Structure 1
Amino acid sequence: MKFKFFGFLFLFLYAFVNPVLAVSDPRSVPNNIVGINSLSPESEIADVASLVNNGGDWGYVVIVIRKDERDLKRWQSFLDQARKQHLIPIIRLATMIDKKGFWEHPGENDVQEWADFLSKLYFPTKNRYVQVYNEVNVSGEWGGEVNAADYARELDKTIDAFKEKSGDFFILNAPLDLSLTTSKTSLETSEFFQKMEDAVPGIFKKLDGWASHSYPNPDFSAPPSESGKTSIEGFIWELDQIDTYIAGKDLPVFITETGWKRDKNGLTEDEIANYYKEAFANAWNDERIVAVTPFVLNYPEPLFDQFSFKNSTENSAHTYYEHFFAIRDLPKVKGEPRRENLISELKINRPSVVLKDFENVIRFRFKNEGNYVWDTKKDLAIKVISANLSVRKPSWSKEEVYPGQEVTATLKIQGIDRGTVPLRLQIVHGGQILAESKSELTVDTPFSLFIKRIKALWSHLRLDVFGRFL
């Protein structure tokens, strides 16, 4: 009886919770385009949320993970915090810096190792955003050489490897440095695109979105009213360049780096603040754009300090520059990214017969496989639907259940009247039924069960004795 019950339950639940593995267009739902780059995301996550979600919800954060940082515990902890802060991460893949100061060329096994690693992490949203390296038209970003064909092949393999793991991986290209001309250490953008398409025809059509570094050049100081290749509207020029390659595909745009440089002899923080306001109101108020993530929240070292939103000056009167507050106070959308609420590995252990007026126990064990955090005190519940049972509140093994975690529950019930009645068991989160079992349950008294047992034994004994005389 118990074995048959489990078999039915597993078959029913599989059909009930089977997820659809495919990326969704983030522009098809309410979307908050405001984001930021964070180089220390674990320690900066609260600051990031206060910047991109003030007045809105579910903004973006670009983070960099190097190949020597593939630590599941570390990054799952970050993703869990991003989930609680309502942040959508865009993960930029990176190798390591070599002795010459170049980013290494990806190794032979890196494609599969990246796919294996990131597929084991539970993301805050259904779409899992991955940017495949960075500004690869600069030799220092690709092992000391510029090789568009080689990058196209690496991108092609990476897309295939990730999609084989899950259709939810949303793959972005490496944005290019649009200000560069062709030289020994760089390749002009349109030439780079052409060489990519020649090496792997159709490579741009395989992308899920378009990543761009639309900086206000020259010298990161051009006003937001400028347009063209090297402006904050550089993405428009890029899309025009690849238009014939993508054959009309409508690629969502992610401006994963942009921003103005603060300079004693150039732009002041007040001017930059006004530039950001104007940019978000005009140039970046474009239906093709999913995210704008300026560089960078905090960079205290001289190399990029002029782009930092955080003031690293000792004894400064304020922690952040004016452009931080300009973006923080922008009107924003309350984003509603697609998320899935999924359950797996459900096991229910219950008696086939419930004793009338006695306490009986049903035990549940299952795993959170979706994008939500379950709170067993607030929004996760077990419903027992039966006209013949008295039910107590369940006791849970933990208060919060993060994706990837397992939880157990113990439910105490009591039969009211003898008889067999329909039984429905539901696991519910926030009003959504995650899983449901339908069966029958018999309520009986100890004395009645005892008599039935005696009759069964007597019947068996009579048959056995009769068989001996034949």
Structure 2
Amino acid sequence: MRRISIISLISVSLFTLFQGVAAPAVATYSPLSVENNKLCVHVFSPDELEPAAKLVNGRENSSWGYVVVPIQATDRDRKKWTQFMRTAAQRRVIPIIRVATFGEGPNWAEPENADLIDFANFLNDLPWPTQNRYVIIFNEVNHQEEYGGSLNPEHYADILGNAITIFKRRHADFFILPSAMDNASINSVTAMKSTTYLSRMFAHRPELPSLIDGWNSHAYPNPGFTSPPTARHDHSIRSFQADLTFMKNYTQRVLPVFITETGWDGQSLSAGTINTYYQTAFTSVWNHPQVVAVCPFVLQAFDGPFAKFSLYIKPGTPGPVHDFLTRFATPGQPPLSLPQPSPTAVSTSQLLPRISSIFNSGGLARFYKTIKILLSIFAPPEQTSSITIADKTYQLELAKSPTEKTRGLSHRSSLPKDHGMLFLFDTPGIYPFWMKDMLFDIDIIWIYEDQVIGVTTARATDGLKPLYPPSVVSKVLELNVGSGIVAGSPVSIRF
């Protein structure tokens, strides 16, 4: 047995604290593949979770509705947000977290990569209730006041691309949504038409449509937040359909759609009219097969410009539109998160206290426990199983835990002949893979139950490009390239 010096162990520990664990292959599950409660609401504060849950899960037997809540760079309070996530699990609510910078005069500050790192580190340490960790990367960036006083699609494209990389390095289950656009904006000094903005983004970073996990829309009933649901123009409540048509120029993927803001002006329209509009919208417009969540804006706002949208008429008193919306709540069955810790990166401000704690009371035992975990992470999984496909048998490494799935075959120089790595999933679904940090080409064998349904040759140069199965899979096998396996081959596994 090789002896490892204490200096080497400390070096490994510090590297892990700074870097986290790289995320190569497995991404998120598709929310379109499970039973889903699409009712959602937008709130301003995590303190509003309890009343939000009463809305989105307000019908008998309904569960796992969604709540959109912003988090500012100045509001990374670990105790508060940990309690928010724990309450979300107890109340069966799926959080959608929208990251924001901070106010800088009349504008929101322009984000930097350091903001992304701090948000990813902070959000990765929270106890998310569901497997998918939904995060929106900023808000209506085609308005200059939302982006440091500038209109800069190329900069936001870089920020979005970097966010995808940074968050998924922290954990593969982060589900990254781009900023929604204000679809009512036209090209001017202070704003940019959404299609113009997106065209410039994708010209600068053409890989982005293949990297985002879903689509984010603010489907307001414009003009004036009073348009009926029968309106069909590109800035009505059907604006998400115009977005999807536009996106077909860049990708053929079936993108899950999250309508994270919508709603009618309650000061210009009666509650009865708004309820009729919501009935038509939910049954004839937002019943689109790609729509995952519909989030009326906003739960509570009693003064200022957003009061006209408030679903509460005064503190503690929901209004008639709020009560009407509960009828659209349904049962949801999202895959839940596994209560398994994984190494995480920390910001510089958190590093010294964490190192210091190692040497405090009881710290030495925890330190050695940490080293044991690290060694188990970086050691290859035990090879005790085999898989036979047609007449070919391969020795297996099993990737079952989130850490093993995240690590995959990344950073290895090769895979032994007649060996493979098998990824096991508790729930069949559409599980995309990527080749980030891979050093050699592989064949990805897509398996459902006991049969191969497809084979994809993946190149190390594919990098962040998502590779999708042809349909729902229950297992995925990675082999050396040139395996010769074809769709339809029978599969037998010995554990």
TM range (shorter): 0.5 to 0.7
Rounded to whole Å, the distance in 2 between the matches of 1:342 and 1:53 is 24
Residues 141, 262 of structure 1: alpha-carbon distance in 2 compared, 3 angstrom cutoff? same
Shift of residue 220, structure 1, vs aligned partner: 0.4
Residues 192-251 of structure 1: CA deviation (Å, up to 9, x unaligned): 1110011111212110010000100000000011123111110010111121212x1111
Picking from 29, 41, 47, the partner of 2:46 is 41
Structure 2 residue 32 is the aligned partner of structure 1 residue 27 = yes
Q: Specify the SS of the correspondent of 1:27.
A: helix
How do 1:303-322 and structure 2 match up within 5 A? Answer: 303-312=305-314, 319-322=317-320
Q: Is the 8 A contact 2:137 2:160 kept in 1?
A: yes
Shift of residue 41, structure 1, vs aligned partner: 2.6
User: Match for residue 335 of structure 2?
Assistant: 338
How do 1:255-294 and structure 2 match up within 5 A? Answer: 255-263=259-267, 266-294=268-296
Picking from 87, 101, 107, the partner of 1:102 is 107
Q: Specify the SS of the correspondent of 2:108.
A: coil
Residues 344, 38 of structure 1: alpha-carbon distance in 2 compared, 3 angstrom cutoff? closer
Question: Which residue identity lines up with residue 285 of structure 1 in the other structure?
Answer: N
Q: Is the 8 A contact 1:273 1:324 kept in 2?
A: no
User: Match for residue 214 of structure 1?
Assistant: 219
Shift of residue 269, structure 1, vs aligned partner: 1.6
Structure 2 residue 322 is the aligned partner of structure 1 residue 324 = yes
Shift of residue 108, structure 1, vs aligned partner: 4.3
TM-score under structure 1 normalisation? Answer: 0.65
Q: Is the 8 A contact 1:57 1:86 kept in 2?
A: yes
Structure 2 residue 201 is the aligned partner of structure 1 residue 201 = no
Shift of residue 321, structure 1, vs aligned partner: 2.1
Does 281-290 or 266-275 show the bigger shift?
A: 266-275
Question: Which residue identity lines up with residue 97 of structure 2 in the other structure?
Answer: I
Shift of residue 344, structure 1, vs aligned partner: 6.4
Q: Specify the SS of the correspondent of 2:260.
A: strand
Rounded to whole Å, the distance in 2 between the matches of 1:210 and 1:190 is 14
Q: Is the 8 A contact 1:182 1:188 kept in 2?
A: yes
Structure 2 residue 83 is the aligned partner of structure 1 residue 77 = yes
Q: Is the 8 A contact 1:175 1:213 kept in 2?
A: yes
Residues 57, 183 of structure 1: alpha-carbon distance in 2 compared, 3 angstrom cutoff? same
Residues 154-202 of structure 1: CA deviation (Å, up to 9, x unaligned): 1001110001111100000000000010000111111111100111112
Shift of residue 125, structure 1, vs aligned partner: 0.1
Q: Structure 1 unaligned runs (5+)? A: 1-19, 346-365, 368-470
Q: Structure 2 unaligned runs (5+)? A: 1-24, 343-368, 371-495
Rounded to whole Å, the distance in 2 between the matches of 1:208 and 1:287 is 16
Rounded to whole Å, the distance in 1 between the matches of 2:339 and 2:115 is 30
Question: Which residue identity lines up with residue 47 of structure 1 in the other structure?
Answer: P
Rounded to whole Å, the distance in 2 between the matches of 1:155 and 1:28 is 25
Rounded to whole Å, the distance in 2 between the matches of 1:343 and 1:180 is 44
Q: Is the 8 A contact 1:90 1:130 kept in 2?
A: yes
How do 1:368-407 and structure 2 match up within 5 A? Answer: none
Shift of residue 322, structure 1, vs aligned partner: 1.5
User: Match for residue 161 of structure 1?
Assistant: 166
TM-score under structure 2 normalisation? Answer: 0.62
Residues 119-158 of structure 1: CA deviation (Å, up to 9, x unaligned): 1111010000000000000000000011111100110011
Shift of residue 107, structure 1, vs aligned partner: 3.0
Does 21-30 or 163-172 show the bigger shift?
A: 21-30
Rounded to whole Å, the distance in 2 between the matches of 1:327 and 1:30 is 19
The list of structure 1 runs, each at least 4 consecutive aligned residues, that deviate by more than 6 angstroms after superposition, is none
Structure 2 residue 151 is the aligned partner of structure 1 residue 146 = yes
Picking from 71, 90, 99, the partner of 1:93 is 99
User: Match for residue 254 of structure 1?
Assistant: 258
Rounded to whole Å, the distance in 1 between the matches of 2:290 and 2:340 is 34
Rounded to whole Å, the distance in 2 between the matches of 1:95 and 1:74 is 18
User: Which structure has the larger Rg?
Assistant: 1
Question: Which residue identity lines up with residue 22 of structure 1 in the other structure?
Answer: A
Question: Which residue identity lines up with residue 336 of structure 1 in the other structure?
Answer: Q
Question: Which residue identity lines up with residue 69 of structure 2 in the other structure?
Answer: I
User: Match for residue 439 of structure 2?
Assistant: none
Shift of residue 40, structure 1, vs aligned partner: 2.4
Shift of residue 256, structure 1, vs aligned partner: 0.3
Does 161-170 or 102-111 show the bigger shift?
A: 102-111
Q: Is the 8 A contact 1:105 1:142 kept in 2?
A: yes
The size of the alignment, in residue pairs, is 318
Residues 344, 252 of structure 1: alpha-carbon distance in 2 compared, 3 angstrom cutoff? closer
How do 1:165-184 and structure 2 match up within 5 A? Answer: 165-184=170-189
Rounded to whole Å, the distance in 2 between the matches of 1:341 and 1:253 is 25
Question: Which residue identity lines up with residue 217 of structure 1 in the other structure?
Answer: N
Picking from 108, 121, 126, the partner of 1:121 is 126
Residues 154, 344 of structure 1: alpha-carbon distance in 2 compared, 3 angstrom cutoff? closer
Question: Which residue identity lines up with residue 260 of structure 2 in the other structure?
Answer: T
Q: Specify the SS of the correspondent of 2:44.
A: coil
Residues 344, 137 of structure 1: alpha-carbon distance in 2 compared, 3 angstrom cutoff? closer
How well do the aligned residues superpose, as a CA RMSD in angstroms? 1.8
User: Match for residue 431 of structure 1?
Assistant: none
Shift of residue 343, structure 1, vs aligned partner: 4.8
Shift of residue 117, structure 1, vs aligned partner: 1.1
Q: Specify the SS of the correspondent of 1:245.
A: coil
Question: Which residue identity lines up with residue 93 of structure 1 in the other structure?
Answer: V
Shift of residue 342, structure 1, vs aligned partner: 4.2
Shift of residue 21, structure 1, vs aligned partner: 5.2
Shift of residue 320, structure 1, vs aligned partner: 2.2
Residues 174, 344 of structure 1: alpha-carbon distance in 2 compared, 3 angstrom cutoff? closer
Rounded to whole Å, the distance in 2 between the matches of 1:243 and 1:228 is 18
Q: Is the 8 A contact 2:113 2:159 kept in 1?
A: no
Q: Specify the SS of the correspondent of 1:271.
A: helix
